[in-house]
Structure 1
Amino acid sequence: MHKEVKLLAVKGGITQQPDVMAIVNAANAHLTTGGGVAGAIHHAAGNDLYRECQELAPIRPGNAVITKAYNLPNDYIIHCLGPVYGKNKPENVILAKCYKNALRLAEEYKITSIAFPAIATGVFGYPMEEATEVAIKTILAELPSLKHLEKIKFVLFSEADLEVYQKKLAEVQ
C-alpha cells in the first residue's frame, strides 16, 4: 500500500503557490517567455530563469526539464512541453508523458509538493475536459511509484476550469 497523496484543485495563478516545493510550467520548446503560464512564470522568476533555460532548450513534446525557481516562492520549476492539439499526435500519449516526466523529476529531486497548471489547454488548444481526464488518469496511475510526493495541486486560472477539475477529482476520490 502506498502512502496517501493529497490531490486538490484550486483557482489561482501558478506563480502564487508558496505552499509547494515545485511548480510546473506549460513551456514552449525553447523554454522562453511567452503568453499564459510560461509568460507569468518567466516574468515572476526573473532573468536568471531565462539564462538557465537557454542551456536546456530546446525540448520535445512530452519532455520535461527542471530549473531553480529564482524569485518565485518555490524551490524548483519543472518545464513541460505539451502537445499542440491537432498537430502533435497522439495528443493523449504526449500529454500523459508530460505528467509522467514531471512526476519522475519530482521524485528524483525528492520534491514533496507540486502544482500543475492545465498543460496544453491554452494556446496549444487541448480541450479542457479531455486534458483533465488525461492528467488525472496519468497521475493516479503513477501514485503507487511515488515515494516523496505528498501533495499534488492543480492550479486553474478560471472558475469554469476549476469546476472541470473538481468534478473529475470527485469521481476518483
Structure 2
Amino acid sequence: MARITLVRGDITQQSVDAVVNAANSSLLGGGGVDGAIHRRGGPQILEECRALRASRYGRGLPTGQAVATTAGRLPARWVIHTVGPVYQASAADPSLLASCYAESLRVADDLGARTVAFPAISAGAYGWPLDGAARVAVEAVCGAVTAVEEVRFVLFDERAYEAFAAQLG
C-alpha cells in the first residue's frame, strides 16, 4: 500500500513523478485545478490533450477514466488527467469518484511513477461534499493495489486538509 501524505498547498508546485489533474471531459483546460495545471504547465500539455482528443477520445475522456500527458513546465514528469463526477448529475455515485483514483493509480503504474499528487477530485466546482469526497478518496487509495510508493493529497485550503486528515484518523 502506498504511503499517504497530506499537504496544504498548490498542486502545480509539487515535485512528484505524476500530478493528477481534475480535468473536464474535453481535456482542453478549464477552471480550478484543471486551469491551474494548464496555465503553469504550458502549451505542451494542451497540445498532447488535443492529440488525445483527435485520436482515442474524440467524444472526450469518460468520467472515472484516466489518461497521461507530459507535465510541460510543471516540476513533475507527467500529468494524469481524470474526470470526476458532477455530484448532482451522478446521483452521488461514489464508485465513479473512486474510479478516478483507482484509474489514476493504474496509469501511474503503467508509467512507472512512484510519487503521485492528487487534488480533492470533484470537491470544487463539481459539488461533491468535501467529507464524502475525502472518504471516497482515502478508501480508494487505501484499497488500491499499486506500485506507487507515495500518494500525496494536495489540498487547497484548511477545510479540505482537515476533511482528509479526519479520514486518515
TM tier relative to shorter chain: over 0.9
Give the 5 Å matches for 1:92-107: 92-107=94-109
Residue 33 of structure 1: aligned partner = 29
Tell me, in whole angstroms, the C-alpha distance in 2 between the residues paired with 1:98 and 1:83: 9
Q: Secondary structure at the match of 1:66?
A: strand
Unaligned ranges ≥5, structure 2: 54-59
Residue 165 (str. 1) matches residue 168 (str. 2)? no
Shift of 1:34: 1.2
Deviation for aligned residue 1:90: 5.2
Q: Which residue of 2 aligns with 1:138?
A: 140
Corresponding residue for residue 156 of structure 1? 155
Q: Contact between 1:84 and 1:91, CA under 8 Å: does it hold in 2?
A: no
So what's the TM-score if we normalise by structure 2?
A: 0.93
Unaligned residue ranges in structure 1 (runs of 5+): none
Aligned residues: 163
User: Which residue matches 1:15?
Assistant: 12
Measure the CA separation in 1 of the matches of 2:19 and 2:107: 12
Paired with 1:56 and 1:90, the residues of 2 have a C-alpha distance of: 28
Do the aligned residues in 2 keep the contact of 1:65 with 1:79 (CA within 8 Å)? yes
What residue identity is the alignment partner of 1:157? F
Residue 89 to residue 61, structure 1, CA distance change in 2 (3 Å): farther
Distance in 2 separating the partners of 1:162 and 1:128 = 10
Distance 1:79 1:71 in 2: 16
Secondary structure of 2:12's aligned partner: coil
**Pairwise CA RMSD:** 1.1
- Counterpart of 1:127 (choices 123, 126, 129) is 129
Give how far 1:35 is off.
Answer: 1.0
Q: Determine the C-alpha separation between the residues in 2 that align with 1:138 and 1:49.
A: 27
Taking structure 1 as the reference length, the TM-score comes to: 0.91
